[in-house]
Structure formats: C-alpha cells, structure tokens
Structure 1
Amino acid sequence: MLPEKISQNWTSFVQSIDINSQRKLKFRLQASVKVFQKSKQSLAGLWVRTDKKDGSVGFFDNMENRPIISNHWEVYTIEGEIDQHTSIFNFGGICWYNGIFCFKNFKLFIRYDTQNFTEVILKNPSFENIAHQLSIPGWKQGIGIKEPIEVQEYTLNSIKEKNKNTYLKIEGNDIINIDKIKEEYSPNIGTLIAMFYNLDDRLKKAVQELSSKEIDYFLNPKTNSIGALIIHLAAIEISYQVDTFEDREFNEVEQQKWETAYYLGEAAQKEYKGYEIDYYLDILRQVRKKTLIEFKKLNDEWLKEATLNSIYDNHYKWLHVLEHYSYHIGQIIMLKKLIEN
C-alpha cells in the first residue's frame, strides 16, 4: 500500500505537452510570481524539463541558481532550446521550505520558424477552480514523472483578486529550519544534530513511498531488507545512547529487546516483515527523540570525554553513529534501485 501523502521540504506543479519536431526549437516560458518568506530558505522558481524519446532528460532549469524571493508580483522567464529528440515538454512552478508562494499568468512561446515565437494555448494558466490538493484543472502536483502524491507540508488554493483574476497560492508550514535548531545546542553538538536531520531527510526521501513488499525484499539469505536495516539503525543509536549518556552497556531487558535488530541476519529477516514503512520510521523517531533531548543537556566539553574506559571520546563515537547511518542509507538506496529494476 502506497502512502496517501509524503513529507518533503519542497513541492512543485507541472503541465506537460507533447512535442514532435524534426529540428531544434526555441522556447520561452514566463509567469508572474511573488513570495512571502518565513525564512531565508523560502524560495520559488519556474521550471522546465524536456523528456527525450529514449527516456533521458534534455533541457532542465528550475531557477535554483537564481531563486525568486520578491514579495511583489514580477514576471520571470526561462528560455532555452527543445532538441529534435524531445517527446514531452514539462513546465511549472516549484517552491522550497516554509512560506507563501503565489503563481499566475503562465505563458509559453515556441519559435517554430526562424522569425517569430508562437504562443501555445495552455490549460488553466491562472489556476481557477482548485477543488483539492491533487485536483488542479490542467495541472498536476509533482514533476510529471509519476502519479502525484500530496505533500503534507503544503496546501494549494485558488485565490481571487479584487479584479476577479485568480492565482495559485501555495503555503508551506512545519518544515524544519536546521539553522534555528542548531541554535538550541552548543556549536559542535549543533553540527552533529544538523547532520542527523540531513540523514533523516535522505532516508525519508528514499523509503517513504515503498510498499511493505518492497520494504521486506532481500537479495539472498545473507543480506538484509530495508525494514531490517532501518530497525538496525535504531538499535545502534540506542546502544550509543546508553554508552555515552549513561556510561554503561545494554542491560538484560535492553539486550533482549534490541539483539535481533543489532546483529541482523536470518533472525531479523524472520522478525521484521509485513509492516508498513511508518512502523520502522516511527521506531527510529522515538529513539532519535531521546538523542535530541539528552544532547540539549550537554555541551562541547562533554564531547571530549570518554565512557566505558574507552580510548575513543564521545565526539568520535557519535561521528561513528552518523557514519554508520550514512553507510546503511547507501545500502537502502542500492536495494531500492534493485527493486525498481
């Protein structure tokens, strides 16, 4: 079962048109946009992607290197070239992080001859009659590669201006601001926390749309499933919690609870199957919650200390937890690609 919603720090919308040309064509996309920023991360842009007949990507631009931040209506433009191998021309708007992002008056021009641009008739260029997040007449939420899934951090609405013209209003909320979170910790601990959030985001993007069957998949009896690897991440993290925060090893109850996840293998294949992805991510979130709470009580001097008579200090140990996390995310992404193929 696929999720009804996904979680991410950006959203986009798209309209696609078929292209069939034996030669290269020039294009110009333009639209009016304004942004009400909630932080420096609040950014918007227009975007264009051409898909070739062989499935590869031709032209691509999402204005990431020149993002829109103005809170006044202004017209923005993307210009480029459609080559003769293009089959689909995708275009739309994109926004990042928290904020209010407004779009209207999309126009597309294509130069079919050497002299003049011809305006292409678009579907619903001013976004009238939005009935639901995934029901924008003429448009789709997403980037056009697969069926749209609602992004839970964003809401989309048609807004009517005083002159009765309409525009698309996208509002992003509850997206984590890493810079603000780092301020809650001492400098070096704040950097560790930022790295955890970055890895959490990478893991979530990789797995949140997987079915339970995909989560349970493993190559052979000596390998592990995605679900087992995520629960293993939780087991390793909690072992370092008791090591560094409490200066001890697992007690008998903890050992019994986490042993299978810690060591993986055939026992983990049998125990961790049949669950949806949120089962695993929720366990990891609960373990992480304790990590964040405990780190708030500590400072950078603590990082220099050692526990359990170890030659390695606490900073080294938590960097190892992050390295371990990153290593297994790589495995998870590899497994996902094998499943997709």
Structure 2
Amino acid sequence: MKTFDPALHADSLRSERAYQLQPSLDPAFTPHLGALVEMLTYTRLTTLQAVDDLPEAALWQTAPGFSNSIGTLLAHIAAVERTYHVLSFEGRDVTPEQDGAVYWGLTMGQEGTPPSRLPTLDELRAELAAARAETLRVFATRDDDWLNGPLTGGWANQHWAWFHVMEDEVSHRGQMRLLRQVVAPKENPPGERT
C-alpha cells in the first residue's frame, strides 16, 4: 500500500520546498492527486503561519464588524475537510444527528453538537493535522480516475470537491489575517514571506 511520505513535502514556509509544486516527487500519488496534495500542503502551511504565536486570549475573540473568531474559522476549516471525508470517502451526506461535532464546525457554531469547552489553539492545530492525515491516507489509495469521478449526488466531481476544500481554507485564512490585525497584531520578522 502506498502511503504519504512527509519527508517529500514542505513542513514549514521556511523550506524552499514549500514554493515548488513537484507532484512527481512523491510516488504515493498519481499526477493530479499529487498536484492537489502539493497545493493543499502549501495552503495549510500558510493557514498555520497566520496563527503562529497567537495568544490564547485572542483565539475566540470576535472583533467589531466580524461575525466569527479565529478559533471559529479554524474549527470550520477542519470541519470542511471532515465533511468532504464523509461526502467523498464515505459517499453520504453530513447530518447534524450523525456528525454533530463536524456539523458544529461546519456551521460555525450555529448547529450541531458544541464541544464541552472551546478548544485551545494546540487542539485546533491537532484537529487540522488529524483531518489532513486522513485525507492524505485515503488519497494515497486513490488515483486520477477517482479524482475525475463524481462526488456523492453527482453535482460535482471529486477534483472540484477537494479544490473547494482548499479555496475555502484560503478564503477563511484571509479573514483570520484581517481578524488578527485587530485582536492580536503580529509583526513579521524582516525577510519573512507572507
């Protein structure tokens, strides 16, 4: 069985590898899946960079003019990925009854089962990592024919679904960067890429 090899991918934006899309380096993935993995990896690295050194007190703050906190957005990003696990890998819809915790994150706390307490930044990072590990584990068992195939319900294909996971994260990362400027401004060290 093919498996994702983290050594073949960037683990930091300080790595030159983060700025190269080279899907052929990892034999676990077919070409289009490999390119998608490269883009998902870069996107996640930039999301994590946006919350580097974020004070815990700022995690769940909602700034004037914003309806969500950085914590809510991180929980949502993880829940979107978990939602597409259900749609894409299990072939069913997400429901509040069956997937309460995921639904809570997906709806940004409006529906579903809320956690007994709001998670810490480290717990949210761990959930993001766990969701991504599952994505990569399953992707290593699939190929480009699967990627071009239909998503549950036939309204989109698998490739679009996973592109949507990525573009949704990019959108919310932008919101987090704006929120951060209000709740916990961060200075970029000289020479740091943003």
TM-score (norm 2): 0.76
Higher-strand-fraction structure: 1
1:8 Cα deviation after fit: 3.7
1:178-257 equivalences in 2 (<5 Å)? 179=22, 182-220=26-64, 223-250=67-94, 254-257=98-101
Which residue matches 1:339?
A: 183
1:88-127 equivalences in 2 (<5 Å)? 96=15
**2:149 maps to 1:305:** yes
Tell which structure's C-alpha radius of gyration is larger.
1
Which residue matches 2:129?
A: 285
1:246 Cα deviation after fit: 1.8
Decide whether aligned partners of structure 1 residues 9 and 319 sit closer, same or farther in structure 2, where only a CA change above 3 A counts.
Answer: closer
Report if the CA contact (8 A) 1:208-1:277 is conserved.
Answer: no
Report if the CA contact (8 A) 2:151-2:161 is conserved.
Answer: no
Which residue matches 1:172?
A: none
Q: 2: distance between equivalents of 1:206 and 1:191?
A: 23
1:276 Cα deviation after fit: 3.2
Decide whether aligned partners of structure 1 residues 253 and 286 sit closer, same or farther in structure 2, where only a CA change above 3 A counts.
Answer: farther
Q: 2: distance between equivalents of 1:205 and 1:194?
A: 17
SS at match of 1:306: coil
Report if the CA contact (8 A) 1:222-1:265 is conserved.
Answer: no
Q: 2: distance between equivalents of 1:267 and 1:212?
A: 24
Which residue matches 1:69?
A: none
SS at match of 2:128: helix
Decide whether aligned partners of structure 1 residues 237 and 272 sit closer, same or farther in structure 2, where only a CA change above 3 A counts.
Answer: farther
Report if the CA contact (8 A) 2:54-2:184 is conserved.
Answer: no
Report if the CA contact (8 A) 1:240-1:317 is conserved.
Answer: yes
Report if the CA contact (8 A) 2:29-2:143 is conserved.
Answer: yes
SS at match of 1:291: helix
Q: C-alpha root-mean-square deviation of aligned residues, in Å?
A: 2.9
**2:104 maps to 1:260:** yes
Higher-helix-fraction structure: 2
1:324 to 132, 153, 168: 168
1:255 Cα deviation after fit: 2.1
> For residue 123 of structure 2, what is the amino acid of its counterpart?
Y
Which residue matches 2:191?
A: none
Decide whether aligned partners of structure 1 residues 220 and 338 sit closer, same or farther in structure 2, where only a CA change above 3 A counts.
Answer: closer
1:293 Cα deviation after fit: 0.5
Q: 1: distance between equivalents of 2:132 and 2:91?
A: 18
Q: 2: distance between equivalents of 1:320 and 1:248?
A: 17
Moved more, 310-319 or 216-225: 216-225
Q: Which runs of 5+ in 2 are unaligned?
A: 1-10, 186-194
Decide whether aligned partners of structure 1 residues 305 and 253 sit closer, same or farther in structure 2, where only a CA change above 3 A counts.
Answer: same
Report if the CA contact (8 A) 2:96-2:111 is conserved.
Answer: no
**Which is bigger in relative contact order (C-alpha 8 A, separation at least 6)?**
2
> For residue 138 of structure 2, what is the amino acid of its counterpart?
E
Q: How many residues end up aligned between the 2 structures?
A: 172
Decide whether aligned partners of structure 1 residues 272 and 285 sit closer, same or farther in structure 2, where only a CA change above 3 A counts.
Answer: farther
Q: 2: distance between equivalents of 1:272 and 1:330?
A: 28
1:244 Cα deviation after fit: 1.1
Q: Which runs of 5+ in 1 are unaligned?
A: 1-6, 11-95, 99-174
Q: 1: distance between equivalents of 2:183 and 2:117?
A: 16
- Partner deviation per Cα, 1:318-340 (whole Å, 9 max, x = no partner): 11111111100110111111224
Give me the identity figure in percent: 23
